[in-house]
Amino acid sequence: MTHPVSRRSFVASAAAAGLAAPGLAAHRLQSPANGRDILRVGLIGCGGRGTGAAVQALRADSRTVLVAMADLFEDRLRSSLSGITEAMEDQAERQVRVEPNAMHVGFEAFQRVIDSDVDVVLLATTPNFRPMHIEAAVAAGKHVFAEKPMAVDGPGVRKVIAAAAEAKRRRLAMVSGFCWRYGNAERAVFAQINSGAIGKVMAAHTTYHTGTLSPRPRRPEWSDMEWQMRNWWHFTWISGDHIVEQACHSIDRLSWAMGDVDPVRCVSLGGRAARQGPESGHVYDHFAVIYEYPDGRRGFHTCRQIDRCPSDNTDYIFGTQGRAVVNGWTPQHELFDLDGRSMWTYSGPRRDMYQNEHDAMFASIRTGNPINDGEFMMRSTLMAIMGRMAAYTGQTITWEQALNSKEDLTPERLHFGEMSVAPVAVPGVTRFF
Ligand SMILES: NC(=O)c1ccc[n+]([C@@H]2O[C@H](COP(=O)([O-])OP(=O)(O)OC[C@H]3O[C@@H](n4cnc5c(N)ncnc54)[C@H](O)[C@@H]3O)[C@@H](O)[C@H]2O)c1
């Protein structure tokens, strides 16, 4: 299933990327005596985020070189290489050195990158494959940057929890794409909240209300699998549904506000009110989850992907002595007293959080203290999955049930052929496994 990108197609893409100078691809990297002054980076999942993450990794540390890439589709890989090369400008010749035999496509392509002589892998495929890729990367001793969410089901969560623990044991970086944790303003305001500036946090409501993501109409030449993979947001087995794929950022901040402790159970309402047509697959378009904590506190999360409705991506956090309003886009990072008077607002620098996380990861690798985001990234991922499970089934789902769930969403056979679409989940009918 895997094959390196052909020489001919590489030359075409390299030319488009301004890389076609003769002999360049054959040029070997110069490594100093310790052999690892230059960190070799492999990119797995060459879409929008993977392309951005590769550029951020290369900008984070001038002694990094992108040497290998993998994607399901050659067109995605080639456009990513062009994008990375263009973005790296005059540093591209030195830091973007992906030889044709290091460009792999297909479902097994990830393993070829992991098996190559890379030090760091950037995992930015669609979410379903993250556990498989994280597990393989850690087993091979690679530092990992993994985009959110970390899994779409219970078996995937358990796999990543084990891999994150193993990464810690082996002193390998495990940095997550929960990028708000690396935002300057978010770090400052959550430090205020977690240190008691609004008293004890009793409840929080986070929102992720947006329009729909563009569906990709089917082309006649696409197999069922190719169509689903290219239109992946709309299929739960690939994305986890939008509460897991997208709203997990806001669920992560909900968890941050509540002090990063495991909730005991959740109740969740959701459905599909406005999505129509086969391109929209079977995912829901709205969820409302209530998380209950061991001490009786409650966390609320609502997310919606419906056009022509107001958007909101704000965290409303309520403490015994005040409240906080956090919105990274408007931006607002502000604390209020119980009478609604502003007590504190963030006024420091606002660097690109995506760049911040890569700067932090490479600095931690260089200093021998690799960051491990395992604990919070898995709690937030499982909270999102638990919210979907509760909405799909209509049942109250406990933390233990979600963690031990046997529902494995990955198809038995990953191949570009027939692939049926599961029916839309019906609360009260869809069963929990
Ligand atoms: N942290 C953030 O703010 C942020 C922003 C955007 C996306 N993301 C996350 O990044 C991930 C990718 O999102 P995107 O917007 O780049 O999507 P995308 O569709 O642009 O890219 C995904 C790429 O992965 C490839 N792919 C899928 N399965 C693969 C496999 N098994 N092996 C190799 N390649 C595979 C696809 O072909 C595609 O090129 C998602 O998990 C998404 O949630 C995070």
pLDDT, residue 215, reads 77
Q: Which domain holds residue 308?
A: 183-346+373-403
Share of the chain above pLDDT 90, in %: 91
Q: Across-strand partners of 39?
A: 64
pLDDT (0 to 100) of residue 34: 37
CATH code for the domain of 338: 3.30.360.10
Average pLDDT, the chain: 92
How far does the centroid of ligand 1 lie from the alpha carbon of residue 71, in Å?
10
Whole-number pLDDT of residue 91: 97
Residue 9 clears pLDDT 50, i.e. is over it: no
Confidence of residue 214 (pLDDT cuts 50, 70, 90): confident
177 CA: nearest ligand 1 atom: 1
Say yes or no: CB of residue 72 within 6 Å of ligand 1. Answer: yes
Write the pLDDT tens digit of every residue in 321-347.
999 999 999 999 999 999 999 999 999
At 24, is the pLDDT very low, low, confident or very high (cuts 50, 70, 90)? very low
Please report whether residue 396 resides in a domain: yes
Number of domains in the chain: 2
Indicate if ligand 1 lies below 6 Å from the C-beta of 147: yes
Q: Is the dihedral of CA 95, 56, 379, 260 positive or negative?
A: positive
Same domain for 253 and 135? no
Asked if 83 and 173 sit in the same domain, the reply is yes
Confidence bin at 301 (pLDDT 50/70/90): very high
For residue 337, which amino acid is it?
A: D
Centroid of chain to Cα 401? 23
- Give the residue with greater pLDDT, 313 vs 17: 313
Q: Is it the case that residue 276 has pLDDT exceeding 60?
A: yes
Instruction: Specify the residue with its C-alpha closest to ligand 1, atom 38.
Output: 47
> By mean pLDDT, which of 1-5, 287-291, 344-348 is the weakest?
1-5
Do 172 and 199 lie in one domain? The reply is no
DSSP for 62-129?
Answer: TTEEEEEEEES-HHHHHHHHHHHHHHHGGGHHHHB---GGGEEESTTHHHHHHHSS-SEEEE-S-GGG
Q: What is the mean pLDDT of residues 99-119?
A: 97
Decide: 361 and 142 in contact? Cβ < 8 Å: no
Would you say residue 409 lies in a domain? no
> Mapping DSSP to helix (H, G, I), strand (E, B) and coil, where does residue 268 land?
strand
Does any domain span residue 354?
A: no
- What's the rounded mean pLDDT across residues 264-276? 97
Distance from Cα 196 to the centre of ligand 1, integer Å: 37
The DSSP bridge partners found for residue 303 are: 208, 287
- Cβ–ligand 1 distance for 253 under 6 Å, the answer no
Question: Residue 89's domain is classified under what CATH number?
Answer: 3.40.50.720
The answer to whether 19 touches 92, Cβ cutoff 8 Å, is yes
Determine the straight-line distance between the first and last CA of the chain, rounded to whole angstroms: 31
Is the pLDDT at 388 greater than 50? The verdict is yes
Is the Cβ atom of 177 under 6 angstroms away from ligand 1?
yes
Q: Is the backbone peptide bond immediately before 331 cis, with ω within 30 degrees of 0?
A: yes
At 158 the pLDDT is 98
Distance 277 CA to ligand 1 centre (A): 23
Mean pLDDT, residues 198-203: 98
Instruction: Indicate if ligand 1 lies below 6 Å from the C-beta of 282.
Output: no
Q: Is 211 found in the same domain as 105?
A: no
261 shares its domain with 281: yes
* Centroid of ligand 1 to alpha carbon of 44 (angstroms): 9
In a domain, 432, yes or no: no
Number of residues that this document lists for the chain? 433
How are beta strands 201-210 and 298-305 bridged, if at all? parallel
- Considering the entire predicted model, what is its pTM? 0.93
Task: For ligand 1, say whether the CB of 50 is within 6 Å of any of its atoms.
Answer: yes
